[in-house]
Amino acid sequence: MPTKQEQEPASDEVVAVGPGVLRSQLPVQMPGLGHVNMYILEGPDGAAVVDPGLPTPSSWRAIQDRLRKAGVPLKRVHTVLVTHSHPDHYGGARRLAAETGADIVTHEAFRNWFAPAGEHHDDEEAPPVVAGPPWARPTPWGGAPHRPPLRRRIVFRLGRSRMTPPTPTRRVHDGERVALAGRDWVAVHTPGHTPDHLCLFDAEEGLFLSGDHVLPTITPHIGGITPLDDPLASFFASLDRVASLDGVASVLPAHGLPFADLAGRVAAIRRHHEERLDTLRAAGVAAGPTTVDVLSKELFKPRSWGHMADSETFAHLEHLRLAGEAECWEEDGRLVYRVAG
């Protein structure tokens, strides 16, 4: 049985979570997740949709069902807002925009992580694409490239046109105001989970759309394969920033249920990563010079071993290195780390 809110399967209910704001859930078949929350924000000029799920036929059917239950015809959707460049958040945006003519709104740093080799963006404002499937790229810490199960690779190849992120029609910057549900929300750039992660704050009603930045019962993945020099430091700074927002009454996460204590949840997430750094310090000193994959097994339980665990371990090791608590060098195509005693 699932033990975390974020793992629960999608419900077909549509629930009011604030004035003009409805929470619905779309099915997600991804490790550790059972659904994504698609928020529907209703205003006098129509509706905005936040994070319209995966680019799959079943998700598209669920989108139509949830909008129908909310009493929102497709033709009234004028905006699709995507919190960040992961497919369980942007997947339905392209089709929704095609069906409705809606604007696609993202942070200005939104980028394409899943482009087929040789593909180029038609969006002049976009950061450069990352070409090729994720497993075709060497890892920065060395060793054998990540290679997911054959079935997942086949699904990716067959559906790669759907996996390509949409081209935003509006890229917002930090602090910009976005009209949703008949009032202004402030864009809050929160790099860490991804470099382009975007949250939105409605100071009038005290609502905070947190995306994957702050989740109720799990901590978001902080990977090391990113343009950010120190993704963990960026994440910490983003956590501190949202914890300091005045007047947040309800946090609306991308997975799991709304919750009230933003500062308390931020403190718990930060403590989790600080404990992970402490574990890494102790394991690194005990092991002496060693590699990312070895130390990854000290941070994660066997069921989690693999590419994502290695990537997060690399991010934590780089955080220690940049803080002067570790050094690294390359040997036989792998990075070797020595953690200071």
Per-residue DSSP letter, 146: P
Same domain, 169 and 31: yes
pLDDT score recorded for residue 146: 63
Are residues 256 and 180 part of one domain?
yes
Q: Please, what is the average pLDDT of the chain? A: 90
259: three-class secondary structure by DSSP:
strand
Q: 182-219 pLDDT, tens per residue?
A: 999 999 999 999 999 999 999 999 999 999 999 999 99
CATH number, domain of 290, equals 1.10.10.10
Residue 237 has pLDDT above 60, yes or no: yes
Domain stops at, among 211, 232, 260: 260
> 298 and 319 in one domain?
yes
On whether both 47 and 70 belong to a single domain, the answer is yes
Q: How far apart are CA 333 and CA 83, in angstroms?
A: 36
Q: What are phi and psi of 307, to 5 degrees?
A: -60, -45
Classify residue 68: in a domain, yes or no.
yes
Domain count, the chain: 2
- The SS3 of residue 273 is helix
Same domain, 174 and 291: no
- Domain shared by 188 and 59, yes or no: yes
Whether residue 117 is contained in a domain is answered as: no
63 and 35 together in one domain: yes
Q: What is the pTM of this model?
A: 0.91
Q: What pLDDT does 32 receive?
A: 87
Q: What region does 32 belong to: left with phi over 0, alpha with psi -120 to 50, or beta?
A: left
pLDDT digits (tens, 9 = 90+) for 291-340: 999 999 999 999 999 999 999 999 999 999 999 999 999 999 999 999 99
- The residue out of 208, 240, 260 marking a domain boundary is 260
18 belongs to a structural domain = yes
Res 3: pLDDT = 73
| Chain centroid offset of residue 212 CA | 5
Query: Is residue 175 situated within a structural domain?
Result: yes
The DSSP line for 73-139 is -GGGEEEEE-SSSSHHHHTTHHHHHHHH--EEEEETT---SSBPTT---S-TTSPPP-BS-GGGSPP
Q: Write down which residue in 218, 233, 260 finishes a domain.
A: 260
Indicate if 202 and 255 belong to the same structural domain.
yes
> Domain containing 53 — which CATH number?
3.60.15.10
Looking at the fold, whether 310 and 172 belong to one and the same domain comes out as no
Domain that holds residue 250: 5-110+165-260
Q: Which burial class, exposed, middle or buried, applies to 150 when counting CB atoms under 10 A from its CB (0-12, 13-18, 19+)?
A: exposed
What is the model's pLDDT at position 181? 95
| Residue 296 located in a structural domain | yes
Q: Does residue 134 sit within a domain?
A: no
- 275 in the same domain as 256: no
**25 vs 54: CA distance, rounded Å:** 12
In-domain check, residue 132? no
β-bridge pairing 21-30 and 326-331: unpaired
In the DSSP assignment, the letter for residue 142 is B
Considering the domain architecture, whether residues 242 and 306 belong to the same structural domain is answered as no
129 lies in some domain = no
Could you count the other beta carbons within 10 Å of the beta carbon of residue 101?
12
- Is the CA virtual torsion 270, 201, 7, 223 positive or negative? negative
> Residue 141: its pLDDT value, please?
95
> Residue 217: its pLDDT value, please?
97
256 shares its domain with 277: no
